Structure 1
Amino acid sequence: MSLTAMHWIDGALYEGHGTREMPILNPASGTSTGQLCLADGADVDAAVASAAAAFPAWRDTSLARRTSVLFAFRELLNERKGQLAEIITREHGKVLSDAMGEVARGQEVVEFACGAPHLLKGSFTANASTRVDAQSIRQPVGPVAIIAPFNFPAMVPMWFFPLALAAGNSVILKPSEKAPSASLWMAELWKEAALPDGVFNVLQGDRVAVDGLLDHPSVRAVSFVGSTPVARYVYERGTAAGKRVQALGGAKNHMVVLPDADIESAADAAVGAGFGSAGQRCMAISVVVTVGDVADEFVGKLKERMARLVIGDGMSDSDMGPVISAESRDRAVSYIGAGVAQGASLEVDGRDVSPKGDADGYWVGPTLFDHVTPEMTIYQDEIFAPVLAVVRVSTYEEAVKIVNDNPYGNGVAIFTKNGGAARRFQTEIEVGMVGVNVPIPVPMAYYSFGGWKASLFGDTHAHGMDGIHFFTRQKTVTTRWLDPSEQHGVDLGFPADTVTGVA
């Protein structure tokens, strides 16, 4: 089936003015399933104009009404989540069960946003000074842009737009050009849920669209998830244009295995977290740090499990699908070659994969390196492919130093039976999200997602209360109503707790 993926502006498909197109590819076969319209400057202006025009009425819509729309979206999504998962699998390549999990995790944020009346409550103090009341309120920022990556075409946008909409903002979503269709499916669902036209828009495109949103004066805030170089660029360009920006960057996530860990459980976790979604998760484990004499046994357990993995089309009975593109495949293969050349021990070679699927798909099999050191490029760089590196150290302190010296600080895990060691680790480690016997510590929707160091630009994380704060501005109101018996007069003194002043 061939399709043309267009923009969604003002509540309908929008063909746009841009003349550039690119193919939409199925990574499991390498074949084109349609064409994607890429935005030009006029399309950016149209999307932002639609969001700006819709914003005042949506801002002034009651919280009860806004919440009812979110509830309707939640119910429709729950009924049809299988459809969305199939779209994700066809364009991303992840297996269908993984795509279903993605939708479920995104839906958690929708459900959290349904509590907007409580989340957006302000505060009130009566008689803060004599006959003076004080209150704080939270108000939406205006039209906001969400720039999403290919690896989670549904979940990552849902980290942001439910809270943005609940707070009264209008949205322009710019999905990855590699996985554009999920965004249109969700736009149609919002329409069915009775979201007013123009409140949710989809702008398809590449850097032209991104730069247009970053520069447009009517866009008030930008949420971004992607690689660290692009996250830094988005943050710097967006803030230079006076916008509020949260830019989540790349990762090199470590899993520390202490000598007392349950080795079977830890091996299961490392394989699942390292090779799920073909390693194309920002929270994927790409480095295992073994402490003490556990390394030989642990590597053996990894190889046993990896040998049983079935690689193939995500729509079939497979454990792991392809990587997203030919470029990603070739990049991964190049890193594997570099690891061998730099002296790492290649225990399982993903270049020799025999997939259960079309030979022209973008296949890289699970790959395992042992005896990796921090000087090697397979350790230093975010490969974003199913390549797992084992680093051997002698002590807990060495393991902590390895993690803390890394420029990224997105996620980390420790596997141990020692509560004291785990408690010490979660305190000493310089990483934003920590798992204890949990390999992928992605927080629940009511907590916030975000890393440290080069994994986050800006000081606000995604979803949870950080999300509410990002998509709203706080306003403080001080009120005094004159009593008919009060005496009038000018007082040049600094306001204090008097009848005519403010504390």
Structure 2
Amino acid sequence: MTREITHFINGEHVKGTSGRFSDVFDPNTGEVQARTPLATAEEVARAVKSAEEAQHEWQDVNPQRRARVLFAFKSLVESHMEELAELLSSEHGKVVADSRGDVQRGLEVIEFACGIPHLQKGEYTDSAGPGIDVYSMRQPLGVGAGITPFNFPAMIPMWMFGMAIATGNAFILKPSEKDPSVPMRLAELFIEAGGPKGLLNVVHGDKEAVDAILENETIKAVSFVGSSDIAHYIYSKGTANNKRVQAMGGAKNHGIIMPDADMDQVVKDLVGSAYGSAGERCMALPVAVPVGKDTADELVERMMAEIPKLRIGVSTDKDAHYGPVVSAAHKQKIESYIKMGVDEGADLLADGRGFTLQGHEDGFFVGPTLFDNVTPDMQSYKEEIFGPVLQIVRADDLEEAARLPSEHQYGNGVAIFTRNGLAAREFAAKVNVGMVGINVPIPVPVSYHSFGGWKRSAFGDTNQYGMDGVRFWTKVKTVTQRWPSGDIGDQAFVIPTFQ
């Protein structure tokens, strides 16, 4: 019997009432394993009301006690690591080791959020004027919401609700309907950790639920990660409704390979970053840019030798390098991009279409694909493929290579591989991209910095987590105070100058 997912509202599992559902597949077999309810606007409103009531008390809880709840949550997630990783893999398809990394990178933001007693401190100026002191405080917004993608169902929700709750807000999470069980489990563990009921609610849905979030007056801020078109829609509609919005979009990350690069390390890093997690990462490295013909020819030769060594398997296969993609529709989309590349004239060196795994012929598997002689005018280069496809774009020199990521519509991440410190330093300073790796293929910043791209990779003024997370989920109140010792006389009619 197909399992039915529930919403999680006010600390309880609540059945959906819309009568509309989305199928949750086992990507390894292609079989439907569960159904996700798609919420109505009324169900979203119910979750918001629950959050609003819980937040009134939570904002008055002192920051060290909020941190203790997050410490307890962190400990519980760690003790349930294997359960969460296996559950995540069963719905997403990524191998279990990769799923553990998904959970762990989310926990690192929870760890950072546990420092909220220090992070949320305001500023104070003694004697800014005669007998006048000025101080500021960071206060919670109230109720926030997060809309998260299928590719990181543990990490990205924790990025969002960890910072929001630490700063005194309540939170509505609308995870992807494709793999909803891990976000639900995280909400259960938050309650077990001592979190108040109603503070973290999970509501599943499609555009109806998203629009209900964007239109609800009680929700003051929305964080989103997903495709650029939807990110732009959420940013535009959310800000039009007077909400604070951060919306992270798509990516087309480039890896610049200089002639002096350590080619052994480059090949290892490219294989992992282009094909790991079946390429379903916004920080994957799907474009390699070798500088010079000799560099390009060597790269192609080495990649063609490495690709046959890749093991594609079910998500529970401990020896597999990557597993299936999330859905049949996504598999079809990836394969359509491969066909597009062929039609546009790129050289297809390794074709992942038609890959099947014995015993799992109906699974959503795509083999590793490699293109050479891709050019910037090709549509397959301009768009995000989000699959195990690596495109090689050849460049004659570093200037030409650096223009590719700088001029691309996306500006999420970029990497350069070189032994030349000066070239790397100048590249990092000048490239028009938000996150840069130097001999690091997937430059996702640590939790005490922040994550965010440029151009169509991000809409809004603040990044995810780090101090930007504290700033996004709080508002600043500044107080100017004076305690007069006697009659202030005519001074009451004069604007303070603090001289």
Instruction: Give the TM-score normalised by structure 1.
Output: 0.97
Counterpart for residue 298 of structure 2: 297
Counterpart for residue 407 of structure 2: 405
Paired AA for residue 315 in structure 1: T
Counterpart for residue 393 of structure 1: 395
| Whole-Å separation in 2 of the counterparts to 1:236 and 1:129 | 42
Counterpart for residue 434 of structure 2: 432
TM-superposition CA deviations, 1:242-293 (whole Å, max 9, x none): 0000000000000000000011100110110001110000000110001012
Pairwise CA distance, 1:476: 0.4
Counterpart for residue 474 of structure 1: 476
Pairwise CA distance, 1:321: 0.7
Quick one: which of 443, 446, 450 aligns to 1:444?
446
Pairwise CA distance, 1:496: 2.3
| Whole-Å separation in 2 of the counterparts to 1:396 and 1:489 | 68
Paired AA for residue 311 in structure 1: I
Matches within 5 A, 1:137-286: 137-286=137-286
Counterpart for residue 75 of structure 2: 75
Paired AA for residue 48 in structure 1: V
TM-superposition CA deviations, 1:462-490 (whole Å, max 9, x none): 0000000000001101111121x445446
- What is the SS of the residue equivalent to 1:368? strand
Paired AA for residue 451 in structure 2: F
TM-superposition CA deviations, 1:145-188 (whole Å, max 9, x none): 00000000000111111110000000000000001111110011
- What is the SS of the residue equivalent to 1:351? coil
| Whole-Å separation in 2 of the counterparts to 1:491 and 1:104 | 57
| Whole-Å separation in 1 of the counterparts to 2:472 and 2:2 | 39
| Whole-Å separation in 2 of the counterparts to 1:289 and 1:166 | 41
TM-superposition CA deviations, 1:283-326 (whole Å, max 9, x none): 00110001012011111111221111111111123111111111
| Whole-Å separation in 1 of the counterparts to 2:125 and 2:429 | 37
Alpha carbon RMSD of aligned pairs, Å?
A: 1.1
Matches within 5 A, 1:13-52: 13-52=13-52
- What is the SS of the residue equivalent to 2:80? helix
Counterpart for residue 313 of structure 2: 312
User: Cα distance 1:487–1:367, how it changes in 2: closer, same or farther (>3 A)?
Assistant: closer
| Whole-Å separation in 1 of the counterparts to 2:488 and 2:100 | 69
TM-superposition CA deviations, 1:395-434 (whole Å, max 9, x none): 1110011121101000000000000110010011000000
CA contact (8 A) 1:312 1:356 kept: no
User: Cα distance 1:357–1:95, how it changes in 2: closer, same or farther (>3 A)?
Assistant: farther
Counterpart for residue 500 of structure 1: none
| Whole-Å separation in 1 of the counterparts to 2:351 and 2:178 | 27
Counterpart for residue 456 of structure 2: 454
- Structure 2's unaligned 5+ residue stretches are none
| Whole-Å separation in 2 of the counterparts to 1:10 and 1:370 | 53
Pairwise CA distance, 1:58: 0.5
Paired AA for residue 494 in structure 1: I
Quick one: which of 344, 347, 350 aligns to 2:349?
347
The farther-off stretch of 332-341 and 113-122 is 332-341
Paired AA for residue 209 in structure 1: A
Q: Would you identify which runs of 4 or more consecutive aligned residues in structure 1 move more than 3 Å? A: 485-491
CA contact (8 A) 1:311 1:354 kept: no
Counterpart for residue 7 of structure 1: 7
- What is the SS of the residue equivalent to 2:433? coil
- What is the SS of the residue equivalent to 1:285? coil
- What is the SS of the residue equivalent to 2:13? strand
- Structure 1's unaligned 5+ residue stretches are 498-502
| Whole-Å separation in 2 of the counterparts to 1:301 and 1:356 | 28
Count of residues in Structure 1 that have an aligned counterpart in Structure 2? 497
Pairwise CA distance, 1:353: 2.2
- What is the SS of the residue equivalent to 2:191? helix
Counterpart for residue 100 of structure 2: 100
| Whole-Å separation in 1 of the counterparts to 2:279 and 2:488 | 73
| Whole-Å separation in 2 of the counterparts to 1:356 and 1:474 | 59
Paired AA for residue 402 in structure 1: L
| Whole-Å separation in 2 of the counterparts to 1:105 and 1:305 | 28
TM-superposition CA deviations, 1:185-236 (whole Å, max 9, x none): 0011001001001100000111111110011111000000000000000000
Pairwise CA distance, 1:393: 1.0
CA contact (8 A) 1:123 1:135 kept: yes
| Whole-Å separation in 2 of the counterparts to 1:387 and 1:109 | 30
Paired AA for residue 295 in structure 1: A
Counterpart for residue 492 of structure 1: 493
Pairwise CA distance, 1:491: 4.3
CA contact (8 A) 1:378 1:389 kept: no
Counterpart for residue 87 of structure 1: 87
- What is the SS of the residue equivalent to 1:284? coil
Matches within 5 A, 1:56-75: 56-75=56-75
Paired AA for residue 415 in structure 1: F
Quick one: which of 320, 323, 336 aligns to 1:321?
323
CA contact (8 A) 1:403 1:429 kept: yes
User: Cα distance 1:487–1:440, how it changes in 2: closer, same or farther (>3 A)?
Assistant: closer
Counterpart for residue 365 of structure 2: 363
User: Cα distance 1:23–1:487, how it changes in 2: closer, same or farther (>3 A)?
Assistant: closer
Give the share of equivalent positions with the same residue, in percent: 49
Pairwise CA distance, 1:37: 1.2
| Whole-Å separation in 2 of the counterparts to 1:42 and 1:160 | 24
Paired AA for residue 275 in structure 2: F
Pairwise CA distance, 1:357: 5.0
| Whole-Å separation in 1 of the counterparts to 2:211 and 2:305 | 47
Counterpart for residue 423 of structure 1: 425
Counterpart for residue 374 of structure 1: 376
Paired AA for residue 342 in structure 1: E
- What is the SS of the residue equivalent to 2:353? helix
